[in-house]
C-alpha cells in the first residue's frame, strides 16, 4: 500500500483521467480508497486541492455514500446481507448474534451490505469479498476463526 | 414578454411567463408559508411547506401537489393554497421539524423572532402529535464571533446556499445523509478552524432559527436579517442601492 | 461450439464454488452467465441440457469438475422453470462467454446496430420503439418511445445517454444477470438509443456492490471500442458514441434519476424537483436519456424480431424468498403470478403455504396469496397497491409477519433517505418508531390511525419517488393483511 510520504502520487493517473475536473470526484474517491484503504484527512485535502473544490463539498459528498470510510479497516471484514430475501430467512437475527460475538478479537470488522443479488444463498455474509451462503452465526464464527490460522 | 393567466383560490391573476406560483401568490397578497425558500437564493423545495394543489396544468385535471417556490405558472392553472390536505401536511411538517431537533424556545436566542416558531403558530401546532426524539447534537463555539447550535438546525440549507452563491466561500455543506444529515464546515472541522470563512456573517443573517447566532446574543436577542441579503442582491443585479 | 461444456461463473454460482470447479477442470470449459435456477447452482450446460452440480444436502462440493459432473443432476428442458420462459433480453445469457466479444459477435451481437446505421433513419428507430409499446423496466413504466422522442426533439447538438444500472431494490438481480452474462446486448442497446436520439456521450451508472458486473462491463466496453462498435465512426458510419462507466458508492437513492445525474456529476446523490426533466436538463445540463439496463436490453431483440413478433414483450424477474426454486426467469408480459411462483418456482417449502409475494422492493407492496391469479403487468399490479418495479419478487410463506416486513422496508427507506426533504428524512423515522411500537405490542388503535395518516403525509409531501413511495409497503400490508396489525395491538384495545 502506498504511504503518505509518497504524497499520493499513485492517485495522479486517476486525477488525470478525469482532467482534474470536479465531476470526477466520486471516481477519484473510489480510486483513492482502493489505493490507500480509507479516506484520511490529508488525502481528502489533497483531492480537494487537486479538483479545486471546497473542503466541505468533498467531505459532504464523501460522507453521503455508505462505502466511503474515514478510518482504517480491520484485517478482515464480515458484511451481513440485509436484503429482503436474506431478511425473510433470518438476517436480522444473524446480524444481532454476530454483533454480540467478540469479533474484534478476531480482527474482524462487522458491517452490513445491501442486497448483493445472489439471493438463492440467503441468508448470506460477504467475508473479505467472498460470499458465504446459507449461514448461521455459529457457522460464520467458526469460519472466521479459521481466517487467522 | 408573454403573460399567462391563472386562478389562485378565488383570484384571477395575470403574471409574466416564468413567474413562480409563490411570486404570483405574493402579487395577489395570498400568503403561502415558506421556510427553506429565501428571496435572493436558489430555491430547493426541501421544506415542503409551500406545497399547493395544482390542477389544469399540462391538461392534467386531478390536483397535484407541487412546491410553489419552484413551479412556474402556466396558462389556465388552478391553484389551491389552503385545503385541509395541505393544512394537515404543513402541521405535520412543522411537527416533524420540532421532534427531530431539540427546540427549547424559552431559552433560545431566536425566541420571539424565529421563523420556525412563527410557523408553528401559523399552522396551529399547539402540541406535537408525534413523539420528541431528543437527539444528541453538539454546539460549535469555535468561531470568534458566531456560534452554531446543531440542536436548533432544521437543515434548510440557507447558510450553505448563501455562503456558496453569494459570498462564494463555500464554508458550509451538508454532511452524511438521511436522519444523520448535519451542516458541516470544512472537512467536518470546527468552524473557527476553517480558513475559507470570511467572517461576513451572511449565514447568521439568513438562518431562520437560533441555530446560527452572534455569540453576544442571549435568549430572545437574535434577529434574523434576510433583508440585508435582498438589498445586496438587488444592488448586485440592478446596480441600485438604498443608502 | 454449442456442445462445449458451459459453466456459469456469474456471482451466484461463483458463491457456490463455480470458480474452484473451473480451476480443477482438465477439459475445455466455456465461462457463461446466469443459466436461471440459481438455487440449483453451481450450474453447467451442455448443448440444451442443463446440469445442476449442487451437492446433496449436507455434502461438500465435489473436489473437481469431473467429479461434480459425474454426480450431476440433469434439469429437463421440459421443466416448467425453463419451458415457460421466453428469453428475449437474456437470449444469449448463459450461452455466450461474456468475456469474449468474438463469441458474442458470432451469435449476432451488434447486428441490429449495424442495420440501424445502414438504414440511417433515427426517427424510424424511435417509431419502432414507440409502436412496440415498450415501457421502462426500471419500475415506473414510462413509455420508452415517448422518452426517446422527447430527447431526440431537443435542439441541443450535445446529448447524453445514461444507463441506470444502480439496481438497488433488495432481492432484485435481473440487471446484474444481464451485465454479467451478456454485456454486449446492453452496450448495443445503448448505442442504438444514442443513434436514435443524437447522443455521442454515454454513461453506465453501476452500483459498487456488483464487482463482477463492473469488471465484465469494463472488459466489454474496451473490446467493443477495439472492434469499432463503440468510439468514433462506428461500423464505418459517421456515428460516434463512447461509454464511460461510473461506479456508485452505496446509495440506493441514486437510482432516482435526478440523484443519479448529481452522482455522475460528482455530487451528493440528492434528488431535485422536476421539471426540468432530464430530457431537457440532465447530465452537465445537457438533454439526457435515462433508461435502465433491461430496457436497453430489450432494444436489440425488439429490432431483430420487429414489433409484431415482439408482441407484448417479456419481463425478467428474480424470484427469491420462501420458494423451492429461486433464480432469474424471463417470462411473457402478463404471465399470471401463480405460474411464476408456484409452477415455475415450485411454491412454498414443504408443509408451508404462500402468504404473500412482494414486488417492487421498498417502493412496492405485498400481494396476498388470494390474488396470485393476477397477470403480471404494469396496470394489474398497480391496481393491487404495488408496482411492477424492476423485477424483484420475494415470496413469503405463512411464517412471515407482515408488520415485520413493513418495518423492514421502512427501516430501509429511513437508512437510504438522502435527508433533503423533511417528510422523508424525519417521517420515515417516526413511521419506523410506530411500527416498532406495534411489534413490541405497546401500540394502541390511535397509533394505528396515526401510522396510516403519517403514511399519507409522507407519500403526498416528499420531494422524490423514494420518499413518495416509502410508505407503500406499510399501506399495502395494511390493506391486505390488516389482521397482522390488529393482532399486535395492546391487549384490551377495541378492534375496529
Q: What is the CATH number of the domain that holds B219?
A: 3.30.70.20
Binned at pLDDT 50, 70 and 90, residue A148 comes out as confident
Domain containing residue B105? 89-224
Q: CA of A137: how far to CAs of A77, A91, C58, C122, in Å?
A: 15, 10, 17, 56
**Is the predicted pLDDT of residue C126 greater than 50, yes or no?**
yes
Q: What is the ipTM of this complex?
A: 0.96
Spell out which residues of chain C touch residue B96, defining contact as CB-CB under 8 Å: 422-423, 426-427, 430
Check CB contact under 8 Å for A64 and B171.
no
Looking at the DSSP assignment, which residues form a beta bridge with residue B210? none
Q: Out of A44, A57, A64, whose CB is closest to B170? A: A57
The CATH number fitting domain C314-394, selected from 3.65.10.10, 1.10.3720.10, 3.10.20.600, 3.40.30.10:
3.10.20.600
Average of per-residue pLDDT values in chain C: 94
The shortest CB-CB distance from A60 to any of B184, B194, B196 is to B184
Pairing state between β C327-332 and C314-321: antiparallel
Grid coordinates given for C452: 396510516
C402-486, CATH topology level: de novo design (two linked rop proteins) (1.20.1440)
Residue B135 and residue B73 share a domain:
no
pLDDT digits (tens, 9 = 90+) for C209-219: 999 999 999 99
DSSP class of C340: I
- Report if residue B32 sits inside a domain: yes
Distance CA B214, CA C14 (A): 60
The reply to whether residue B184 touches residue A59, judged by beta carbons under 8 angstroms, is yes
A60 contact B CB<8A: yes
Report the candidate in C139, C145, C230, C149 with the shortest Cα–Cα distance to residue C183. C230
DSSP SS3 for C86: coil
Edge-to-edge strands, sheet with C314-321:
C327-332, C314-321, C392-397, C354-359, C365-368
C154 pLDDT higher than 90? yes
Indicate if B107 and B205 belong to the same structural domain. yes
d(CA A99, CA A91) in angstroms, rounded, equals 12
pLDDT at C256 over 50: yes
Residue B60: what pLDDT?
A: 79
- Are B57 and B149 part of one and the same domain? no
Q: Residue C289: pLDDT above 50?
A: yes
How buried is C378 (Cβ within 10 angstroms: 0-12 exposed, 13-18 middle, 19+ buried)?
A: middle
pTM: 0.94
pLDDT value at position A5? 54
Q: Which of C461, C425, C417 is nearest to B91 (CA)?
A: C461
CB-based contacts of C435, cutoff 8 Å, min separation 6: C403, C406, C407, C410, C451, C474
A143 alpha carbon, distance to own chain's centre: 20
Distance from CA of C249 to the nearest CA of A (A): 5
Subunits with at least 3 CB pairs below 8 A relative to chain C? A, B
In this structure, is residue B184 part of a structural domain?
yes
- Tell me, yes or no, whether B238 lies in a domain: no
Q: Is the pLDDT of residue C11 over 80?
A: yes
Share of chain C above pLDDT 90, in %: 90
pLDDT for C378-404, tens place per residue? 999 989 888 888 899 999 999 999 999
C265-283 pLDDT, tens digit per residue, is: 999 999 999 999 999 999 9
Q: Which of A73-87, B175-189, C291-305, C417-431 has the lowest mean pLDDT?
A: A73-87
Are B103 and B52 members of one domain? Answer: no
How many other CB atoms are there within 10 angstroms of residue C314's CB atom?
24
Q: How far is C3 from chain B (nearest CA, A)?
A: 52
- CA–CA dist C222, C236 (Å, integer): 18
Q: What is the pLDDT of residues A35-80, one digit of tens each?
A: 999 999 999 999 999 999 999 999 999 999 999 999 998 999 999 9
Give yes or no for residue C481 having a pLDDT over 60. Answer: yes
CATH topology of domain C101-309: Rossmann fold (3.40.50)
Contacts of A121 (CB under 8 A, 6+ apart): A131, A133, A134, C12, C15, C16
- Whether B229 is covered by a domain: the verdict is no
Q: Would you state the pLDDT for residue A1?
A: 54
Instruction: Assess contact for A127 and A107: CB atoms under 8 A.
Output: no
From CA B181, how far away is CA B184, in angstroms rounded?
9
pLDDT given at position C1:
44
Q: Which of B81, B108, B135 is the last residue in one of the domains?
A: B81
Query: Model confidence at C298, in pLDDT bands (50, 70, 90)?
Result: very high
B20 lies in the same domain as B138: no
Would you call C118 an interface residue with chain B, using a CB distance cutoff of 8 Å?
Answer: no
CB B176 within 8 A of CB A62: no
Whether residues B104 and B155 fall in one domain: yes
Contacts of C422 in chain B (CB under 8 A): 46-48, 93, 96-97, 100, 154-155
pLDDT given for residue C251 in this prediction? 93
**Pairing relation of β-strands B146-149 and B139-140?**
antiparallel
Q: Give mean pLDDT, residues C159-183.
A: 94
**Mean pLDDT of the region C260-267:** 97
Take residue B21 and report the three cell numbers written for it. 406560483
List of chain C residues whose C-beta atoms are within 8 Å of the C-beta of residue B176: 419
Q: Which domain-ending residue is among B47, B81, B115? A: B81
Going by the DSSP 8-state scheme, the letter that residue C59 receives in this structure is: P
Within 10 Å of residue B84's Cβ, how many Cβ atoms? 7
CB of C262 less than 8 A from some CB of B: no
Cell of C396: 413469503
pLDDT for position C494: 56
Residue A5 C-alpha, separation from nearest chain C C-alpha, in angstroms: 27
Domain boundaries, chain C: 5-77, 101-309, 314-394, 402-486
Q: How far is C328 from chain A (nearest CA, A)?
A: 10
pLDDT computed for residue A2 by the predictor: 52
- Both B73 and B110 in a single domain? no
Pairing assessment for the beta strands C160-165 and C73-75 based on DSSP bridges? unpaired
CB contact under 8 A, B92 and C414: no
Q: Do A59 and B174 touch (CB under 8 A)?
A: no
B227 touches chain C (CB under 8 A): no
The Cα-based distances of C226 to B71, B199, C165, C190 in angstroms read: 47, 55, 23, 17
C61 touching chain A per CB within 8 A: no
Same domain, residue pair B32 and B61: yes
Q: What is the DSSP letter of C477?
A: H
In a shared domain, residues B61 and B143: no
Q: Residues 6 or more apart from A55 whose CB is under 8 A from it?
A: A44, A45, A48, B186, B187, B194, B196
The answer to whether the beta carbons of residues C32 and C95 sit under 8 Å apart is: yes
Mean pLDDT of C238-261: 95
Q: Tally the domains of chain B.
A: 2
Give the residue on A whose Cα is nearest the Cα of B190: A56
Closest CA to C479 of C383, C394, C389, C396: C383
> Are B7 and B69 found together in one domain?
yes
pLDDT recorded at residue C168: 87
Q: How distant is the Cα of B49 from the closest Cα of chain A, in angstroms?
A: 25
DSSP C401-460: -HHHHHHHHHHHHHHH--SSSHHHHHHHHHHHHHHHHHHTT---HHHHHHHHHHHHHHHH
In a domain, B102, yes or no: yes
Residue B242 inside a domain? The answer is: no
Mean pLDDT, residues C40-57: 92
For residues B143 and B56, state if they share a domain.
no
Residues of A in contact with B170 (CB under 8 A): 54, 56-57
- Which residue of chain A has the CA closest to C247? A27
Are B167 and B196 part of one and the same domain? yes
Using CA atoms, how far apart are residues B214 and C211, in angstroms rounded to an integer? 50
Instruction: Provide the number of CB pairs (under 8 Å) joining chain A to chain B.
Output: 44
Q: What is the mean pLDDT of each run of 10 residues along chain B (243 residues)?
A: 91 94 96 96 97 88 94 95 97 98 96 96 95 97 98 98 98 97 98 97 97 94 93 93 86
Question: pLDDT tens for residues C195-248?
Answer: 999 999 999 999 999 999 999 999 999 999 999 999 999 988 999 999 999 999
The three grid cell numbers given for residue C122, joined into one nine-digit string? 433515427
Amino acid at each position: 500500500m502506498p504511504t503518505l510520504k509518497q504524497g499520493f502520487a499513485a492517485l495522479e493517473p486517476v486525477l488525470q483521467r478525469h482532467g482534474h475536473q470536479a465531476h470526477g470526484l466520486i471516481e477519484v474517491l473510489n480510486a483513492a480508497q482502493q489505493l490507500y484503504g480509507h479516506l484520511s484527512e490529508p488525502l481528502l485535502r489533497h483531492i480537494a486541492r487537486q479538483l479545486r473544490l471546497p473542503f466541505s463539498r468533498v467531505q459532504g459528498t464523501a460522507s453521503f455514500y455508505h462505502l466511503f470510510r474515514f478510518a482504517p479497516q480491520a484485517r478482515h471484514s464480515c458484511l451481513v446481507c440485509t436484503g429482503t430475501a436474506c431478511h425473510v430467512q433470518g438476517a436480522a437475527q444473524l446480524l444481532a448474534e454476530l454483533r454480540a460475538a467478540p469479533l474484534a478479537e478476531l480482527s474482524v470488522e462487522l458491517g452490513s451490505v445491501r442486497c448483493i443479488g445472489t439471493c438463492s444463498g440467503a441468508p448470506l455474509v460477504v467475508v473479505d469479498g467472498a460470499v458465504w451462503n446459507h449461514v448461521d452465526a455459529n457457522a460464520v464464527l467458526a469460519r472466521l476463526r479459521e481466517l487467522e490460522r | 414578454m408573454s403573460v399567462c393567466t391563472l386562478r389562485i383560490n378565488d383570484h384571477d391573476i395575470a403574471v409574466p411567463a416564468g413567474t413562480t406560483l409563490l411570486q404570483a401568490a405574493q402579487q395577489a397578497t395570498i400568503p403561502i408559508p415558506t421556510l427553506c425558500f429565501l428571496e435572493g437564493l436558489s430555491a430547493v423545495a426541501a421544506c415542503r411547506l409551500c406545497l399547493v394543489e395544482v390542477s389544469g396544468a399540462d391538461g392534467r385535471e386531478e390536483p397535484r401537489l407541487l412546491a410553489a417556490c419552484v413551479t412556474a405558472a402556466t396558462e389556465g392553472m388552478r391553484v389551491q393554497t389552503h385545503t385541509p390536505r395541505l393544512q394537515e401536511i404543513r402541521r405535520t411538517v412543522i411537527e416533524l421539524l420540532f421532534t427531530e431537533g431539540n427546540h427549547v424556545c424559552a431559552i433560545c436566542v431566536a425566541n420571539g423572532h424565529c421563523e420556525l416558531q412563527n410557523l408553528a403558530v401559523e399552522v396551529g401546532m399547539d402540541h406535537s402529535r408525534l413523539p420528541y426524539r431528543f437527539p444528541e447534537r453538539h454546539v460549535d463555539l469555535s468561531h470568534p464571533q458566531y456560534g452554531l447550535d446543531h440542536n436548533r438546525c432544521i437543515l434548510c440549507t440557507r447558510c450553505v446556499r448563501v455562503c456558496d452563491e453569494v459570498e462564494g466561500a463555500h464554508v458550509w455543506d451538508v454532511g452524511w445523509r438521511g436522519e444523520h444529515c448535519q451542516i458541516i464546515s470544512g472537512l467536518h472541522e470546527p468552524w473557527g478552524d476553517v480558513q475559507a470563512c470570511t467572517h461576513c456573517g451572511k449565514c447568521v443573517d439568513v438562518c431562520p432559527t437560533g441555530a446560527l447566532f452572534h455569540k453576544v446574543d442571549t435568549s430572545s436577542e437574535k434577529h434574523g436579517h434576510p433583508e440585508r441579503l435582498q438589498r445586496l442582491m438587488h444592488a448586485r443585479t440592478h446596480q441600485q442601492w438604498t443608502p | 461450439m454449442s456442445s462445449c461444456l458451459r459453466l456459469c461463473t456469474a456471482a451466484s454460482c461463483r458463491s457456490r464454488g463455480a470458480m474452484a470447479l473451473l480451476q480443477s477442470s482438465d477439459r475445455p470449459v466455456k465461462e457463461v452467465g446466469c443459466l436461471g435456477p440459481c438455487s440449483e447452482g453451481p450450474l453447467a450446460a451442455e448443448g440444451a441440457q442443463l446440469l445442476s452440480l449442487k451437492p446433496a444436502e449436507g455434502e461438500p462440493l465435489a473436489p473437481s469438475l469431473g467429479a461434480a459432473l459425474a454426480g450431476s443432476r440433469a434439469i429437463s428442458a421440459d421443466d416448467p422453470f425453463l419451458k415457460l420462459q421466453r428469453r428475449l433480453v437474456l437470449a444469449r445469457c448463459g450461452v455466450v462467454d461474456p468475456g469474449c466479444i468474438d463469441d458474442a459477435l458470432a451469435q449476432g451481437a451488434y447486428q441490429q446496430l449495424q442495420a440501424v446505421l445502414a438504414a440511417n433513419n433515427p426517427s424510424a428507430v424511435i417509431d419502432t420503439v414507440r409502436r412496440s409499446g415498450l415501457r421502462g423496466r426500471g419500475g415506473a413504466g414510462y413509455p420508452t418511445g415517448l422518452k426517446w422522442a422527447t430527447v431526440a426533439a431537443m435542439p441541443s447538438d450535445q446529448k447524453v445517454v445514461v444507463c441506470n444500472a444502480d439496481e438497488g431494490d433488495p432481492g432484485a438481480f435481473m440487471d446484474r444477470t444481464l451485465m454479467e452474462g451478456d454485456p454486449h446486448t446492453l452496450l448495443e442497446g445503448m448505442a442504438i438509443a444514442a443513434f436514435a436520439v443524437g447522443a455521442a456521450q454515454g454513461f453506465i451508472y453501476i452500483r459498487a456492490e456488483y464487482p463482477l458486473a463492473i469488471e465484465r462491463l469494463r472488459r466489454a466496453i474496451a473490446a467493443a471500442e477495439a472492434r469499432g462498435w463503440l468510439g468514433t465512426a462506428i461500423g464505418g458510419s459517421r456515428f460516434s458514441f463512447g461509454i464511460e462507466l461510473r461506479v456508485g458508492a452505496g446509495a440506493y437513492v441514486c437510482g432516482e434519476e435526478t440523484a443519479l445525474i448529481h452522482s455522475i456529476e460528482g455530487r451528493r446523490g440528492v434528488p431535485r424537483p422536476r421539471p426540468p426533466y432530464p430530457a431537457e436538463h440532465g447530465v452537465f445540463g445537457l438533454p439526457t436519456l435515462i433508461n435502465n439496463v433491461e430496457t436497453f436490453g430489450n432494444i436489440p431483440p425488439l429490432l431483430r424480431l420487429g414489433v409484431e413478433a415482439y408482441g407484448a414483450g417479456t419481463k425478467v424477474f428474480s424470484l427469491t424468498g420462501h420458494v423451492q426454486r429461486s433464480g432469474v426467469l424471463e417470462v411473457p408480459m402478463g404471465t399470471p403470478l401463480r405460474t411464476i411462483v408456484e409452477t415455475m418456482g415450485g411454491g412454498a417449502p414443504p408443509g408451508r403455504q404462500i402468504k404473500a409475494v412482494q414486488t417492487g422492493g421498498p417502493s412496492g407492496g405485498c400481494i396476498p396469496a388470494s390474488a396470485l391469479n393476477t397477470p403480471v403487468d404494469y396496470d394489474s399490479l398497480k391496481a393491487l397497491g404495488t408496482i411492477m418495479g424492476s423485477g424483484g419478487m420475494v415470496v413469503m410463506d405463512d411464517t412471515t409477519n407482515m408488520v415485520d416486513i413493513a418495518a423492514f422496508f421502512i427501516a430501509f427507506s429511513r437508512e437510504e433517505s438522502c435527508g433533503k426533504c423533511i417528510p422523508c428524512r424525519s417521517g420515515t423515522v417516526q413511521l419506523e418508531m410506530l411500527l416498532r411500537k406495534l411489534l413490541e405490542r405497546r401500540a394502541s388503535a390511535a397509533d394505528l390511525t396515526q401510522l396510516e395518516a403519517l403514511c399519507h403525509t409522507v407519500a403526498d409531501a416528499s420531494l422524490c419517488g423514494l420518499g413518495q413511495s416509502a410508505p407503500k409497503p406499510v399501506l399495502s400490508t395494511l390493506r391486505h393483511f390488516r389482521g397482522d396489525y390488529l393482532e399486535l395491538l395492546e391487549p384490551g384495545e377495541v378492534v375496529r
